[in-house]
């Protein structure tokens, strides 16, 4: 057995770690590698590349691809589906930032009141 490390294995919990090959990602999503390539062509996801040049996908990218697949399965053209998912993602990020700023503002007001 290897010696116990004092550093936890961080990649297991990292949503951005490119852990999945194209074949595995396509299998998990119930789609084809061509669909994943098309998402890349429409700039929805940009997989990292292994040293050998193979595409590698993260869990975050798989969630984004799954949302695009839902829209395509409902009849939305892939170009439109990609744009919708990008806008949804941007809106979610803006809401997260707004909440952080509100929280910081309340904390700042509490400190100034004390």
The string of pLDDT tens digits covering residues 94-109 is: 999 999 999 988 888 7
DSSP state of 51: T
Q: Give the pair of three-digit tokens for residue 34.
A: 């061509």
Residue 3 pLDDT > 80: no
Residue 2 pLDDT > 90: no
Q: What's residue 15's pLDDT? A: 83
Give me the chain's average pLDDT, please.
88
Per-residue pLDDT band at 114 (split at 50, 70, 90): low
Distance between CA atoms of 44 and 21, rounded to whole angstroms?
17
Q: Provide the H-helix boundaries in the chain.
A: 22-29, 33-41, 59-73, 78-113
Per-position b or e across 78-113, b if 16+ CB within 10 A of its CB: beebbbebeeeeeeeeeeeeeeeeeeeeeeeeeeee
Q: What's residue 43's pLDDT? A: 93
Distance between CA atoms of 41 and 29, rounded to whole angstroms?
18
pLDDT digit string (tens) for 53-81?
999 999 999 999 999 999 999 999 999 99
**pTM, entire model:** 0.76
* Three-point CA angle 20, 80, 50, nearest 5°: 20
């Amino acid at each position: 057995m290897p010696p116990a490390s004092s550093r936890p294995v961080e990649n297991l919990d990292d949503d951005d770690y490119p852990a999945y090959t194209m074949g595995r990602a396509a299998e998990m999503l119930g789609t084809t590698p061509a669909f994943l390539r098309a998402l890349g062509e429409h700039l929805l996801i940009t997989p990292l590349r292994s040293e050998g040049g193979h595409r590698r996908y993260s869990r975050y990218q798989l969630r984004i691809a799954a949302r695009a697949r839902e829209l395509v399965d409902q009849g939305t053209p892939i170009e439109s589906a990609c744009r919708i998912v990008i806008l949804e993602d941007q809106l979610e990020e803006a809401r997260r930032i707004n909440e952080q700023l509100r929280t910081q503002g309340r904390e700042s007001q509490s400190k100034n009141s004390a």
